Structure 1
Amino acid sequence: MSKITFLGAGSTIFAKNVLGDCMLTPSVDGFEFALFDIDHQRLEDSENMLNNLKTSLGSNVTIRAYTNRKEALRGAKYVVNAIQVGGYEPSTVIDFEIPKKYGLRQTIGDTIGIGGIFRALRTIPVMLDFAKDIEEVCPDAWFLNYTNPMAALTGAMLRYTNVKTVGLCHSVQAAVPKLFEALDLDDEGVQWKIAGINHLAWLLEVSKDGKDLYPEIKKRAAIKQQEKHEDMVRFELMNRFGYYVTESSEHNAEYHPYFIKKNYPELIEKFNIPLDEYPRRCVNQIRDWEKMREEIVNNQNLTHERSHEYASYIIEAMETDQPFRLHGNVLNEGGLISNLPAKAVVEVPSLVDRNGITPCYVGELPEQLAALNRTNINTQLMTIEAAMSGNREHIYQAAMLDPHTAAELSIDDIVSLCDDLIEAHGDMLPEFQKKPTYV
């Protein structure tokens, strides 16, 4: 029996989306869905939910929950990763509240920035443990990573393990439809080209019937900027740098040094930036879960429609040899994007079939876009260096290279902030507890 293993299966809604999609994929008929999570109650919830969904959809997959990770992975053909190490409490709270004491504010904190750095540092060791198990009990499995920070985690897996890994995010496939909806444009028949890095990929071309749509997009965006809306940062970036970026304004506000500045508090209002958005979202989700739980977990009439998440389409393409095109996060080997570093993880068009995932050559990005990507790549690569070396000074350096952190804090304050975060995370970062000795 072929097997899909879902790590972090206690993420019940996401498990419903990804594995519900797989239930609606004929080529997955008869597979085992192996569920693993360290939270046994949430694991049981997901198992119940998926069994109900299986019945209502008439699927003949097998749902099985495991409390032993290695057994969950044994013999898997595909592994879906959706973990969050440290959860909302204590880790996310620490990542947001300690930087506030230094006047450093964040919106999401899961990609780069000080929050992204520390999320990566506590997650990479767990991912490497996964890799050891995979190399032992399912060495041919494809590892489909949905966990953030996408570039740092995927880069660590690709550079330091033998696991076949691709990073998956839904920001690319949602970018053009949401942009056109916001500007009251019809996206039917539109052709587009996107490439860059995760959460900072660029709409390089957009056309319909051979006509470049960027002039009309920029015209409408300029008008829309005269009123408050949720995408003001992205429209400002497009105005200043010439191209639309895939991920949301709430994310991009903290990827650059221009928008969240303690000496310019008026920018928060001007660009409608939702500070502390991720902790607020977590609190709301925790509050609402018990209300939703009965409806989702124990609903024997639960239904599902196939989503735009990539996992089921990848599996379908590999199982049937019917090609599928996606935007995957892969190493920039061979200069897929020729003006970005080779060690970087880039988000580029990729073809999937029985042979696996084949990234497509993009060439050079416009230089201003490559420059913006490189500022984020610097921090990503230095964060991986810190995680793999156990060298505390590399954490300081990753933070010093982060555009937002460096724009706000002095070097001494960055070092002090990192020390406070390392101490607060404690056992989550055991290898970094000893401070370096300076001569």
Structure 2
Amino acid sequence: MSFKLAIIGAGSLVFARTLFTDIMSVPEFRNIEIAFTDINQDNLDKVTHLCQRDLEANGIKTKIQSTLDRREAFKDAKYIINCVRIGVLEGFETDVEIPLKYGVDQCVGDTLCTGGIMYGQRTIWELLNFCKDIREVAAPNAILLNYSNPNAMVTWACNKYGGVPTIGLCHGEIHGEHQIAEVLKIPHEELDFICAGINHQTWYISVKHHGAEMLERIRNEFDSVERFQKEEKVRIDILKRFGYYSTESNGHLSEYVSWYRKRPQDIEKWIDTSSWIHGETGGYLRVTREERDWFLTDYPKIAAEPPKKYDGSCRGKEHGSYIMEALETGRTYRGHFNVMNNGCITNLPDESVVEVPCYVDGNGISVPKVGDLPLGCAAVCSQSIWVQKLAVEAAVAGDVQLLKQAALMDPLTGAVCDPPEIWQMIDEMLIAQEEWLPQYKEAIAQAKENFAKGNLIPTKEDYRGAVRIRQKTVEEVAQEHEKRNITAQ
């Protein structure tokens, strides 16, 4: 079979190659057209070189079209995979560091909280430009598979304002599934999971083994694993208080609610420092910097490693390749995707993006009706949905009042800051991110005036957060990769 696939953000140094390996592990896809596009020529060249070498090593004659012109990449494409980071690391740093001065201590800052709200402003504006190009030059009814965060906000904007059918993809629920299997001492493949909620705040509302519901065992036994008692304190506490386990990591979950990160002395109590994902201050920013520096420095070594195999042995669990395979071959695939609600979860707003079980085959993507979420879980999600809605509408219209209201309504931001602090913090972030926020031209000019007047609320300029871990050197990261490679063998 033949169709065209375009990947935007293909200069993503590790993730794009991982996705490409998954896709090319589908035997029927060996004759498809492939286009890579990015704004960074050097990164694009490096990833293209690695993927082209992998193709040739697997006996596939396809030549990757590599271009900085995204319209050229999108031309006639049936599927577009998006994995861009608008603002790259420079923008991400301001998402984490500026709120920290005001006491907002984030682990990730890419989904909700102040960092996620501002990341959404940058990403939504640019994604709507992508959607315009897709409508004009891609194949009719082209599908956008979105991996960019904040996933729910971006998927919402693309479906409502972009005019392109968009599915948001995330792998959060897969990791929790394996944790539950470990707690239950039941093989993962014997369990049937239903997750429902919103991206990064999804709940395991049913876990069955041969038809028998396991939820009560999960509630009673989850803290029986010593490792989880250390690493998943927030998730276990939420489980005890709401009755359902959250799909999201301890660090992510801790910044989406108001209870665990509002006082520095509390943060240490709720997180573990063995891995960034358990909640360290700016943890994801640290490892992203480390991986970038390692890739750029050690690229010759990476290029000398054996090519990826397309026999299925290197295929991961990201949903994108399985969705395309199901649509093109008719093989059924079931996964949890981010889609417009439209009555799927009946006690969440119809106009919101929910993460729910979906089925894919040759007839398309089907979204079964979930019904009501447990009331407490719905309440947690509803609070976040209103932040998302305010942020989406602000990004599309360049409405600074809505933007500041989104930050005001955010659970953690509101728990830490008062309204004047939030207004000043958003002004400071608008100024810092000016080059990626053209829709806020007037608001940024006003923010600059506000700062020029002085008489500002004092901030903690040198505050590094409750639990900040030293950034590893390139040599240390390289050693970790070598250990992982040896273990994998």
For Structure 1 versus Structure 2, the TM-score category normalised by the shorter chain is over 0.9
- 1:322 equivalent in alignment to 2:331: yes
- Residues 225-272 of structure 1, C-alpha deviations (whole Å, 9 max, x = no match): 79852222111111110001111111001000010012x613423443
Matched residue of 2:167: which SS?
strand
In structure 1, the partner of 2:76 is 75
Q: Distance in 2 between matches of 1:120 and 1:114?
A: 10
Q: Which residue of 2 aligns with 1:99?
A: 99
- SS of residue paired to 1:219: helix
For residue 65 of structure 1, report the CA deviation from its aligned partner: 0.5
1:194 corresponds to 2:195: yes
- Worse overlay, 223-232 or 267-276: 223-232
Instruction: Answer yes or no: is the 8 Å Cα contact 1:391–1:432 preserved in 2.
Output: yes
Shift of 1:291: 5.0
Q: 8 Å contact 1:422–1:433 — kept in the other structure?
A: no
Q: Normalization by structure 2: what TM-score? A: 0.85
Query: Which of 287, 301, 318 is equivalent to 1:309?
Result: 318
SS in 2 for 1:131: helix
Is this contact kept in 2: 1:31–1:62, CA < 8 A?
no
> Which residue of structure 2 aligns with residue 170 of structure 1?
171
Percent same amino acid among aligned pairs?
35
In structure 2, the residue matched to 1:47 is 48
Q: How many positions carry a matched residue from both structures?
A: 434
Q: How far off is 1:183 after superposition?
A: 6.5
DSSP-derived class of the 1:307 partner: coil
Q: Is the 8 A contact 2:152 2:338 kept in 1?
A: yes
1:369 and 2:381 equivalent? Answer: no
Tell me how far apart the structure 2 counterparts of residues 187 and 103 of structure 1 sit (CA, whole Å): 40
- How far apart, CA to CA, are the structure 2 residues paired with 1:227 and 1:150? 27
Q: Which residue of 1 aligns with 2:413?
A: 405
Of residues 262, 283, 297, the one that matches 1:277 is 283
What SS does the aligned partner of 1:303 have?
A: coil
Question: Residues of 1 paired with 2:163 and 2:337: CA distance?
Answer: 18
Q: Deviations over 1:258-314 (max 9, x none)?
A: 10012x613423443311112211221123213542343354644351111111111
Cα distance in 2 for partners of 1:317, 1:261 equals 44
Q: Within 2, Cα distance between the matches of 1:341 and 1:403? A: 19
* Cα shift at 1:330: 0.6
Structure 1 window deviating more from structure 2 (289-298 vs 16-25): it is 289-298
SS in 1 for 2:5: strand
Question: Is residue 386 of structure 2 the alignment partner of residue 385 of structure 1?
Answer: no
CA contact (8 A) 1:195 1:347 kept: yes
What is the Cα deviation at residue 74 of structure 1?
0.1
Question: Structure 1 residue 221: deviation in Å?
Answer: 2.1
TM-score by length of 1: 0.94
Q: Structure 1 stretch 305-314 or stretch 106-115: which is displaced more? A: 305-314
C-alpha distance in structure 2 between counterparts of 1:428 and 1:396, whole Å: 18
Q: Does 1:296 align with 2:305?
A: no
Offset, 1:352 = 1.4
- The question of whether the paired residues in 1 share the 8 Å contact of 2:37 and 2:68 is answered with yes
Letter in 2 for 1:303: K
Q: Which moved more, 1:202-211 or 1:283-292?
A: 283-292
Q: What's the counterpart of residue 232 of structure 1? A: 233
- Aligned equivalents of 1:227, 1:195: Cα separation in 2: 22
Q: Which amino acid aligns with 2:431?
A: E
Inter-partner Cα distance in structure 1 for 2:56 and 2:306:
8
1:15 aligns with 2:16: yes
Task: Name 1:331's counterpart in structure 2.
Answer: 340
Q: Any stretches of 5+ residues in structure 2 without a counterpart? A: 273-278, 448-489
Q: Is the 8 A contact 2:395 2:439 kept in 1?
A: no
| Root mean square deviation, CA, Å | 1.9
How far off is 1:224 after superposition? 4.0
Q: Judging changes above 3 Å, is the alpha-carbon distance between structure 1 residues 42 and 184 closer, same or farther for their aligned structure 2 residues?
A: same
Q: Corresponding residue for 1:210?
A: 211
Three-state SS of the structure 1 residue aligned to 2:190 is: coil
Question: Residue by residue, what CA displacement relative to the aligned partner does 1:310-362 show, whole Å, maximum 9, x if unpaired?
Answer: 111111111112222121111111x1000001111001111212332221110
Partner of 2:133: 133
User: AA paired with 2:211?
Assistant: G
Matched residue SS, 1:229: helix
For each residue in 1:185-234, what CA deviation from the matched residue of structure 2 results, as whole angstroms up to 9, or x when unmatched? 53341122111111111100112123332233233323347985222211
Question: Letter of the aligned partner of 1:369 in structure 2?
Answer: C
Partner of 1:248: 249
Partner secondary structure for residue 180 of structure 2? helix
- Partners of 1:225 and 1:259 lie apart in 2 by 21
Amino acid at match of 2:174: Q
